[in-house]
Structure 1
Amino acid sequence: MKKMYAVMALAALALTGCSGGAQTNSAPPETAKATATPSPTPTIMTKAEAGKFYLATICPSNILSDKAGKAVQAEPFNLKAAKSATAALRDGYRKAIETLSNEKVLWPDPVKADVAALAESMYGDLSGAENAANQTTDAGFFAAWNDWTTAPAQPNAQKIRLKLGLSSDTDASCKIK
């Protein structure tokens, strides 16, 4: 019973302390201090992560390249379809270049320079696709398509594939039919 009176007395004291009576010497309420959460330290991709990321970056433009080639070789030739496929390829090259060149993507050291070289070499393909996509006549399109000299991306791409343990068969690894 004495314990119950003690609990009730403590409860009464707690209630009177919270009753809102004027208190002159109260400390200002503490404000919550915002603490900055440190951003995670970027880490270099593992070989396996880099391989998956590489294929996810390159395969879309490889597939678009295959589609553009088929559109150009279609019988009868359809300028509108060829221009559309080539414009999509141009956009695919641009996206691949941007992704490969993204400074936030940390490639493993063995492929870092090769990835940069591949991205650099793809600018020629970007320009060639842009030129072909902008043509207004069949003759102009074929001239731009045939004058389009592909930069030496293939050796860089194969170096990356080899160093990351990926298949050198671009059709199979990108599921091009």
Structure 2
Amino acid sequence: MNRIVTAAAFSLVLAASLTGCSSSGHSETAHARSVASSSPTPTPTAASIADAGKYFLATLCPVNKASATLNDALTAQNLAAIQSSAKALLAPAQNTARRLDDGAFEWPSVVDQKDVTSLRNYYLSALGPINQLATAPNLDEANAVVFPSDTDSGPASQRIRLRLNLSANTSEGC
């Protein structure tokens, strides 16, 4: 993101400096606009491992915290708490999927995009069951809700954490 802003600012300064040096008015200004608008779009640069770690934690910590609250409600078998914690989990789960799918963020080469995609797909597929819990009319129906398997996404998340030098503990760093 910083590179795009920097390039845009550079183009603006370039156009302003060319216009300021102009002695003939419009033709120079039009040329400056042409030069500024034809500048190549900067290529995004992969995030550093440290920045990717911060992004990963900012992406996963809210959903992990909300998931823990839902798990507590399910363990307590409290329907009102299950419904409210599931409703509170919907937005963080959707936001996690959205951030993992964000093409503007480029993961460092140590992170396999297949792992990111696996994790994103898990959160997308979990939205339905979360919504079922939020609207469950009774404990029997709440207990019958089945979440998607995390046999792929669980290890994918741990591989990402390992490669970003983050703790395997999903609540650490949050």
Q: TM-score, normalised by structure 1?
A: 0.71
The answer as to whether partners of 1:67 and 1:85 remain within 8 angstroms in 2 is yes
CA distance in 1, matches of 2:55, 2:75: 31
CA distance in 2, matches of 1:42, 1:82: 42
Long gaps (5+) in structure 2: 1-23
How many pairs were matched up?
144
CA distance in 2, matches of 1:89, 1:99: 15
CA distance in 2, matches of 1:30, 1:135: 67
Q: Which residue of 1 aligns with 2:51?
A: 49
Q: Which residue of 1 aligns with 2:6?
A: none
1:151 aligns with 2:150: yes
CA distance in 2, matches of 1:164, 1:86: 29
1:98 aligns with 2:94: no
The answer as to whether partners of 1:124 and 1:151 remain within 8 angstroms in 2 is no
- % of aligned pairs identical? 30
CA distance in 1, matches of 2:147, 2:122: 13
After superposition, residues 83-122 of structure 1 pair within 5 angstroms as 83-111=83-111, 112-122=113-123
After superposition, residues 5-84 of structure 1 pair within 5 angstroms as 30=26, 32-33=29-30, 34=33, 35-36=36-37, 39-74=41-76, 77=78, 79-84=79-84
From the CA coordinates, give the structure whose radius of gyration is larger.
1
Change (3 A) 1:73 1:38: same
Q: Which residue of 2 aligns with 1:16?
A: none
Could you tell me how far 1:49 is from its partner in structure 2? 0.8
Q: TM-score, normalised by structure 2?
A: 0.72
Long gaps (5+) in structure 1: 1-27
CA distance in 1, matches of 2:166, 2:25: 61
What SS does structure 1 have at the residue aligned with 2:26?
Answer: coil
Q: Which residue of 1 aligns with 2:134?
A: 133
Could you tell me how far 1:138 is from its partner in structure 2? 2.4
The answer as to whether partners of 2:122 and 2:148 remain within 8 angstroms in 1 is no
